[in-house]
Amino acid sequence: MRRILSISILAALVTILPGSYAYAETTYLGYTYNTWDEAVPSPAGYVPERFYSGADIGAGNLKEPQDIFVDRENEIMYVVDSGNNRILLLDRDYKAFRTVEIFTSPKGQETLNNPRGIYVDNTGTMYIADQGNSRILVSEKNGSIKKIIETPRSDLIPENFQFKPDKLVVDKAGRIYVQCTGVFQGLICFDENGSFNRFYGSNRVDVTVSLLRDMLWRKLLTKEQKDKMIRFIPIEYSNVYIDNEDFIYAVVRKSENSNREIKKLNALGINVLRIGKNSVYASSDYGDRPVIYDRGFMVDTAFVDVNVDDDNFINALDSTRGRIFQYDQESNMLFVFGGIGEQLGTFESPAAIESMNKKIIVLDSKKNGFTVFRASDFGKLVKKAVNLYNEGRYREALEPWEEVLERNCNYELAYIGIGQAYMNMEKYIPAMKNFKLGYDKYGYSRAYKEYAVDIVREYFGTIAILLILIVVISKIYKNRRAIVNKYRIKRELRKR
Amino acid sequence: MKKEDLKLSIHAMLHPVYVFERVKFQGEGSILLSIIILFLWFFSNAFSMQSTGFIFNNIRQEDINTLIIFASTFVLFFLWTVSNWALSTFMEGEGKYRDIIIASAYSILPYIILSIITTIISNFLFIESLTFLQYINILAYAWSIIMLHAGIHAVHQYSLKKTVLNIILSVFGIAAILFLFVLVFSLFQQLYIFFYTIFSEIMFRI
């Protein structure tokens, strides 16, 4: 009796006492997708660190902020406080050290009206999408205006075009790429003088069942009837980001086929974002994979912003479910975190995403502030392993991958990484085993082929000798009569 | 089942029209062997689902369901023969139900043999030989369909056109049978609910 009592007390103590195991408190569940497109629970890759409101950064209340930008070299963060028509400059500790409200030019003073987006180049020149005034302001660090870009004029642009710049990026040559509300031809590209250059990286029309049906109808109808039909136009981008190699990342809010929602555009406007062939994790369906219909409407991930961090990982922000999806450059999904809600780490209306000092910053336009996330131990491990793997240093990646598996044995990417490491060490049997666990058929086939070659090389001598022996013995067996006769004749000859 | 039946079924793979004419006019062939072939079909399907090499196996092992394999072999075969027999009476076919069973079952044989062969060799091949396996698979289907065509042709003494029409209509016949089955099933369910409500109502009043 006493023993039972003591054991139960011990058990109670163990449950009450904080465990020595490391665990991350998150208000959301992390997950990844397996080979069969099922969501599998996974430890959170990122954990929320703190929420910063306007008061926390020392700049009064924010009002529907729409965009943030991080100047990584100088570690300055720019917040576009759209409702208050101002730009806030924050230092690395997220304290506002300057507010830009009034811009000066030789002609007089200018103010903003519902600014939506900002880009700052490495000299500190600010490019602001001033949507309410239908213009783009280019201003020096101190607020003196360099240039104002008004509604573009070109044969390609209709007369009654409403210029509503939303988000913008600037490449190293000074060309400005603007995503405008209501423009489906792609991004509007201005040259360095601020005159219209071209449309850039336009989307294609999604081929859907209703499109095919309408195409069939179009063959039968008259011109008047055709004009009354709905026009199928390509989807417009929702946000853009430019990395330091001048690749432009663009996301769309909704794609009918739920396909290629994130694009990495090269100078010609062609999507060059790779989809890892060998990996089961990679899919051209970014965001959540299952498509759900709610009262006839498609509910799918709607990306509102994209960002690429220092290690070239792509973070995409989803407004439907408030989730952040992190991908590597091979489109392998690494983590999902965030959600819709009230608690720390969840959002009401996520608007923009940026990364600074290995942390991810997500701006919420309804909570009027931003949340800072840091990578958890698990997240750091995975990122380290993926980086080594993608650089081709498979052997060094072995150890981090094994640690990843200790924390999450459902992480299929880790098995593939380990398989590749063993493959490089010419240990084909464990390589095959791990590729199988990671459902990597191509990797398995490669390892199996090497293994088969090894087997053949090892036993070729034995097999060849055996074959020769069989041939010789069968030859002898066939001609046994003749041989026996030959010897008999010899013997008889000798007798004589 | 005699040894000749086995020989005949193998012979049918190469000379289907000749053999199926003999089945019809000389009463050769065996129902027992047909049932054994069906069992083989069932097992070869299960075997190829389970034991195809990892590289070529696209089926999730947890999802393999014996009942579904049963439905896609035995039940499908039964529906096919019934539908074909029913249709052939409309279309002046001369075949007996026995002949249809034997002709249909013997036609599955090349598919079974080739699928067992591909399953075994898929364990020793690399991913580059995927097309090779696909070709064998197509060959297996084509062979079986040609044999089935010859079988229906011989059993019912149809012309070529009519045979094709008969086969296509039989497939629709299977759909019709399934539809009727679902209809009857739901009707009986309604009936059951009706009597159950009356029963519970009476019990409630008493």
CB contact under 8 A, A445 and B55: yes
**A320-358 pLDDT tens trace:** 999 999 998 888 889 999 999 988 989 999 999 999 888
Chain A contacts of B54, Cβ < 8 Å?
436, 441, 444
pLDDT for the residue numbered A158: 84
Task: Give SS3 for A85.
Answer: coil
Distance from CA of B173 to the nearest CA of A (A): 29
What is the enclosing helix (H) or strand (E) of A81?
strand A76-81
CB contact under 8 A, A444 and B55: yes
**A196-231 pLDDT tens trace:** 988 998 888 878 888 888 888 888 888 888 788 777
Distance from CA of B54 to the nearest CA of A (A): 7
Distance from CA of B135 to the nearest CA of A (A): 20
Q: To probe the interface with A, which of B52, B55, B122 has the most A CB atoms within 10 Å?
A: B55
Average pLDDT over residues A12-37: 67
DSSP annotation of A113: S
Where residue A489 falls among pLDDT bands split at 50, 70, 90?
Answer: confident
pLDDT at A21 exceeding the cut of 70: no
**A371-427 pLDDT tens trace:** 999 999 999 999 999 999 988 899 999 999 999 999 999 888 899 999 999 999 999
In whole angstroms, what is the distance from residue A241 CA to residue A259 CA?
19
Q: Which residues constitute the domain of residue B77?
A: 3-205
- Specify whether the backbone of A115 is left (phi greater than 0), alpha (psi in -120 to 50) or beta: beta
Burial readout A101-113 (b: 16 or more C-beta within 10 A, e: otherwise): eebeeeeeebebe
Q: Which residues 113-132 of chain B have a CB within 8 Å of chain A?
A: 126-128
Domains identified in chain B, total number: 1
Distance from CA of A207 to the nearest CA of B (A): 27
Q: To probe the interface with A, which of B54, B60, B122 has the most A CB atoms within 10 Å?
A: B54
pLDDT for the residue numbered A10: 58
pLDDT for the residue numbered A19: 43
**What is the DSSP pairing of strand A350-356 with strand A333-337?**
unpaired
Where residue A107 falls among pLDDT bands split at 50, 70, 90?
Answer: confident
| ipTM score | 0.81
In whole angstroms, what is the distance from residue B60 CA to residue A325 CA?
27
Where residue A161 falls among pLDDT bands split at 50, 70, 90?
Answer: confident
Average pLDDT over residues B33-43: 95
pLDDT at A17 exceeding the cut of 80: no
Q: To probe the interface with B, which of A37, A441, A451, A453 has the most B CB atoms within 10 Å?
A: A441
pLDDT for the residue numbered B114: 96
In whole angstroms, what is the distance from residue A387 CA to residue A375 CA?
15
Flag whether residue B204 sits within 8 Å of chain A, measured between CB atoms.
Answer: no
Average pLDDT over residues A294-302: 85
Flag whether residue B62 sits within 8 Å of chain A, measured between CB atoms.
Answer: no
**B98-144 pLDDT tens trace:** 999 999 999 999 999 999 999 999 999 998 899 999 999 999 999 99
Beta bridge partners, A327, equal A314, A333
In order of their start, the domains of chain A are 31-375 (2.120.10.30), 404-495 (no CATH)
pLDDT at B58 exceeding the cut of 70: yes
Mean pLDDT of chain B, nearest integer: 93
Distances (CA, A) of A36 to A282, A332, A405, A412: 12, 15, 19, 12
Give the predicted TM-score (pTM) of the model: 0.81
Which chain A residues have any C-beta within 8 angstroms of a chain B C-beta?
36, 436, 441-442, 444-445, 448-449
pLDDT at A18 exceeding the cut of 50: no
pLDDT at A11 exceeding the cut of 80: no
Mean pLDDT of chain A, nearest integer: 87
Average pLDDT over residues B139-158: 94
Distance from CA of A454 to the nearest CA of B (A): 14
Flag whether residue B61 sits within 8 Å of chain A, measured between CB atoms.
Answer: no
